[in-house]
Amino acid sequence: GIQVEQSPPDLILQEGANSTLRCNFSDSVNNLQWFHQNPWGQLINLFYIPSGTKQNGRLSATTVATERYSLLYISSSQTTDSGVYFCAVVGTSGSRLTFGEGTQLTVNP
């Protein structure tokens, strides 16, 4: 099946800093999504982005499908951004999401 790799596995920032999270995938995809899992375990949809670039407030994402990677940008980070960020994909031959291992983000005040 399709493989999903996220980097870095852990990231510690000071409030106000910017960061870039990366997601590499091993095959063509029909779907790519970024999620934020908050400390209570809730998975929050950030972006549905199988290709192209999207922005939502301080967050933006870019997927370059031909090169099989996606980037999540967080600008002016806040303590509430802390949590685990997951990238997940659906391969062209599949129908459900395969998750990466996540990036654990800690934003310190």
Residues that bind other proteins (CB under 8 A): 30-31, 33, 35, 41-43, 45, 48, 86, 88, 90, 95-102
Q: Pick between residue 14 and residue 96 the one whose CB is nearest to other proteins.
A: 96
Q: Return the structure tokens found at 84.
A: 């685990």
Q: Pick between residue 14 and residue 95 the one whose CB is nearest to other proteins.
A: 95
The phi and psi torsions of 57 (rounded to 5 degrees) equal 65, -125
Cα–Cα distance between 4 and 89 in angstroms, integer? 8
Cα–Cα distance between 31 and 100 in angstroms, integer? 14
Q: Pick between residue 65 and residue 90 the one whose CB is nearest to other proteins.
A: 90
Smallest distance, other proteins to C-beta of residue 25, A: 14
Q: Return the structure tokens found at 74.
A: 């967080």
Smallest distance, other proteins to C-beta of residue 76, A: 26
